[in-house]
Amino acid sequence: MITIYTTPSCSSCRKAKKWLDQHQLPYEEKNLFSYRITSEDISLMLKNSDNGFEDIISTRSKVFKDQELDPDNMTVSELKEFILDNPSVLKRPIIVDDTKMQVGYNDEEIRVFVPKRLRDLVMCKDCPDDGVCDYQTQLKKYFDEIKAE
């Protein structure tokens, strides 16, 4: 299941949710202002991160600047605790599932969340040479398959 961490005023968050909705990909939204993130949420983000905390926190945020914190001098536990107490330091949106994560909205990169079957259809792996292989046709075929299941 895809989880997307958002805030209401974030335009990139709205774009990401719209894209997921258009592609009928189920997701759970966790609004950082109304949902209390957990240590497990942070662990999932870090599990799928290439650069650890650097990928998910904004050191330019007001909270970091006001407290004059240096994440390089903080332990993992201290950073996790800081995020739990100040979730606004997280970059947005953070889109994550069990194996991948995207921070921010990027129209190309978000496609990693498209299921393999849909990618295969779009790449015309099952199309006969004379078959119609445009994106909308393949998308419809994919959704018809899902409905039939």
SS (H, E, C) 65-105: HHHCCCHHHCCHHHHHHHHHHCHHHECCCEEECCCCEEECC
User: Does residue 10 carry a catalytic annotation?
Assistant: yes
| Burial profile 109-140: b = 16 or more Cβ within 10 angstroms, e = fewer | ebeebeeeebeebbeeeeeeeeeebeeeebbe
Is there a contact between 82 and 74 (Cβ–Cβ < 8 Å)? yes
Q: How far apart are CA 44 and CA 100, in angstroms?
A: 9
Catalytic, out of 10, 124, 127, 133: 10
Per this entry, what is the length of the chain? 149
Catalytic residues, by residue number, are 10
